[in-house]
DNA sequence: TTGTACGCGTTATCAA
DNA sequence: TTGATAACGCGTACAA
């Protein structure tokens, strides 16, 4: 195990100054052609690998961005990360991946570590338990660009890339109503998180539009995880029979899967007894026994757009802070019985 | 946007030396209690966030590990990454995620960048096109611990964590043979990659054990991706009818999915016309119309074991280089018709 | 074209 | 207990 070679060592080897070596290796102009060749050869021979740490310290730039996600295994996030990685890589950046596990505390500590490591920017989809936004403000006040994706925080000086959750949720709900369902329930995500709030809003809007009653028993705040969908659905299924809903709008696909499990455990049929729809078009949506009607989120594309926006912010301090909408798509399958 | 606060600024603010501030903030002994409190208060008030870049330069330690994967979206890798992240996080490390997209060139450049960023260790599952191992050797010669996981390279001075691919493949094949299948085909992964080579070896071993003919027409080298499975299967399906296999052993689940698509496009039924088995127990395996018989890899667990092994190497230069086997499990479903 | 001095923010070391 | 100085590896700015 040989230690890392430094510019200094190359310089000594060749009896020239460190700066000349640095310039030669960084394609600076004003370096004698022969000198450059000599340096390049020596660098190669010695196995020189530049020390980005030292470079970063001087340049105040790490060519690294942080990506904070609440989940890794749902197919939405891996796909988004793939999109992010491709854009980052094409810009010559690496990715520090941090996983909050839906926990605000872990998220906060991840953000501080990212700040410590002086990442050039951060992409984040917030945890379902996050409701204190001061940490995001602190990061922003440090001059680190932040772009939220999917789960956003608005009006704190950061751009956001997501689908039009409110509108998509309204369309989805409307689709159910137009197919004759009158008693609808909503398994809402955490309401302190944008997608939770907005999808609920869209749900209610559709009910109102068609003069349907908004029954608070039929709106259960849950999280974004499968098990939470299971529990929430059981709560609803324990209502007296005349109060039971005919259709369920779940805040996302995993919650829908949990709900489906609960429904089937009661011996009820989907969609005949209860129809259900989800949100995201997770990889499983089309494969489960009764394929799930859902809103396709184009996670890969969304990741790309979010990353591109982040690099715009990184490269241009005056880049406009905005809310970017990526188009989504209603995917009709059997679970809604339409 | 205020710039980052430095130790120097805190020191000036309090009229003490930088070193005292550094010591106070890093819980060094021999710091006056009052001084420490004063420093901590000032640091908090000013919003001090330590600069890990500078610290890393001095300490030659970044508390960052690199993770290089050939794929992000197949469920095997997200789950492995989740396991890795949890172990890393519990050790106080962050993760730089690099994606090789099965491309040896991208992989090499990712490894060099990771070396440049002076990660403390690297976890890697190699790309299907990687066959020049000199880059791995170079990284190792720099004293950066490397642990391979799933797709390993042996005998170059790095530990490896995987399932017992050869044995698992043999058992899987044997299972088919014991259920009466005599003409078996294998869609092998790239043979320059460990899992490709070993799973093929296991396949052949089982055939030999039962005295079955090894027909080279029925062993097609493909990659690890779904589309490659599709193409390879089509090649087999174009054989004259009397040569067609009755059962297929695919190198992994994605390849099996591709093959299934090809089989079904020909109007053949699984498992009645052709049986098929995969490898990994991908999230879709149990959900497709004819659930896939496969070998469960416990990706999350495997990620944890691999990460733990890496930290052992990082923390102890004398940690034994070894091949660690994580147990796998034969999962019998309908696709094999057993 | 090449070299020198200095600084990036932090810690190690030795002195006070 | 505290401080001064040097060093980590590199780039900027300026001088030669």
**Residue ranges with strand state E in chain A:** 64-69, 94-99, 121-124, 146-149, 159-162, 184-188, 219-221, 247-250, 275-277, 294-296, 323-325, 329-331
Q: Which residue has the higher pLDDT, B269 or B3?
A: B269
As a whole number of angstroms, the distance between CA B292 and CA B235 comes to 21
Residues of A in contact with B113 (CB under 8 A): 52, 94
CA distance B298 to chain A (A): 13
Q: What pLDDT does B247 receive?
A: 97
Half-sphere exposure (CA, 13 Å, Cβ side) for A29?
A: 0
Q: What pLDDT does B3 receive?
A: 80
Q: Which protein residues have a C-beta closer than 7 A to any atom of strand D?
A: A 4, 6-8, 18-19, 22, 25-26, 50-51, 54-55, 57-59; B 16-20, 23, 29-32, 35, 54, 57-58, 60
Q: What pLDDT does A109 receive?
A: 97
Using only C-alpha atoms, chain A has a radius of gyration, in whole angstroms, of 26
What is the overall mean pLDDT for chain B? 96
CA distance B304 to chain A (A): 15
Closest nucleotide (C1' vs CA) to B55 is: C10
User: Least CA distance to A117: which residue of chain B?
Assistant: B52
Q: What pLDDT does A2 receive?
A: 66
What's the Å distance between residue B23 CA and nucleotide C11 C1'? 9
Closest partner residue to B72 among A81, A141, A287, by Cβ?
Answer: A81
Question: pLDDT tens digits for B213-262?
Answer: 999 999 999 999 999 999 999 999 999 999 999 999 999 999 999 999 99
Q: What pLDDT does B29 receive?
A: 87
> In the numeric block, which tokens belong to residue B147?
């642990």
Q: What pLDDT does B2 receive?
A: 66
Beta-carbon separation of A85 and B75 below 8 A: no
Q: Which residue is nearest to nucleotide D7 (CA to C1')?
A: B58
Location of structure tokens 């089989």: B263
Residues of B in contact with A156 (CB under 8 A): none
B26 touches strand C (CB under 7 A): yes
DSSP B93: -
Could you tell me how many CB contacts below 8 A there are between chain A and chain B?
A: 139
Question: pLDDT tens digits for B22-33?
Answer: 999 999 988 999
Beta-carbon separation of B51 and A118 below 8 A: yes
As a whole number of angstroms, the distance between CA B172 and CA B177 comes to 9
**Banded model confidence at residue B1, pLDDT cuts 50, 70, 90:** low
B56 touches strand C (CB under 7 A): no
CB B132 within 8 A of CB B193: no
Of A69, A119, A121, nearest to A299 (Cα)? Answer: A69
CB atoms within 10 A of CB A154: 11
As a whole number of angstroms, the distance between CA B329 and CA B57 comes to 45
Closest nucleotide (C1' vs CA) to A33 is: C1
Beta-carbon separation of B97 and A99 below 8 A: no
**A65-69, A202-206, B2-6, B102-106 — which is least confidently predicted?**
B2-6
As a whole number of angstroms, the distance between CA B276 and CA B270 comes to 7
Tell me whether strands A159-162 and A323-325 are parallel, antiparallel or unpaired: parallel
**Banded model confidence at residue B323, pLDDT cuts 50, 70, 90:** very high
Q: What pLDDT does A299 receive?
A: 96
Residues in chain A where the model's pLDDT stays below 50: none
Residue B89 pLDDT > 80, yes or no? yes
Question: pLDDT tens digits for B138-156?
Answer: 999 999 999 999 999 999 9
Sheet holding A247-250, edge to edge: A219-221, A184-188, A247-250, A275-277
What average pLDDT does range B51-77 have in this prediction? 96
DSSP B98: E
Residues of B in contact with A4 (CB under 8 A): 118, 142
Q: Mutual orientation of helices A52-59 and B52-59 as an angle, nearest 10°?
A: 140
Closest partner residue to A82 among B57, B73, B106, by Cβ?
Answer: B73
């Amino acid at each position: 195990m040989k230690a890392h070679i430094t510019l200094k060592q190359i310089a000594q080897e060749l009896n020239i100054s460190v700066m000349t070596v640095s310039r030669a290796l960084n394609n600076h102009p004003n370096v004698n052609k022969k000198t450059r060749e000599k340096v390049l050869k020596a660098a190669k021979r010695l196995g020189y690998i530049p020390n980005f740490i030292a470079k970063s310290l001087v340049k105040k730039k790490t060519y690294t961005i942080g990506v904070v996600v609440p989940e890794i295994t749902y197919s939405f996030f891996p796909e988004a990360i793939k999109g992010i990685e491709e854009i980052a890589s094409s810009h010559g950046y690496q990715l520090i991946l941090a996983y909050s596990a839906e926990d605000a505390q872990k998220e906060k500590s991840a953000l501080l570590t990212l700040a410590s490591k002086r990442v050039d920017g951060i992409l984040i989809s917030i945890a379902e338990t996050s409701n204190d936004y001061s940490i995001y403000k602190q990061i922003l006040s440090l001059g680190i660009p932040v772009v939220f994706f999917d789960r956003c925080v608005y009006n704190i000086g950061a751009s956001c890339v997501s689908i039009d959750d409110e509108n998509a949720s309204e369309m989805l709900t409307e689709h159910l109503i137009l197919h004759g369902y009158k008693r609808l329930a909503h398994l809402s995500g955490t309401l302190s998180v944008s997608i939770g709030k907005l999808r609920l809003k869209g749900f209610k809007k559709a009910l109102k539009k068609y003069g349907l009653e908004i029954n608070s028993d039929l709106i259960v705040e849950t999280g974004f995880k499968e098990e939470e969908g299971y529990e929430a659905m059981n709560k609803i299924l324990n209502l007296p029979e005349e109060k039971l809903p005919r259709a369920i709008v779940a805040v996302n696909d995993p919650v829908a899967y949990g709900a489906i499990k609960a429904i089937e455990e009661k011996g009820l049929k989907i969609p005949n007894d209860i129809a259900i729809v989800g949100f995201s078009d997770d990889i499983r949506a089309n494969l489960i026994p009764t394929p799930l009607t859902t809103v396709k989120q184009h996670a890969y594309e969304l990741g790309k757009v979010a990353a591109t926006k982040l690099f715009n912010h990184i490269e241009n301090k005056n880049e406009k802070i905005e809310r970017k909408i990526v188009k989504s798509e209603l995917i009709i399958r059997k679970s809604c019985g339409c």
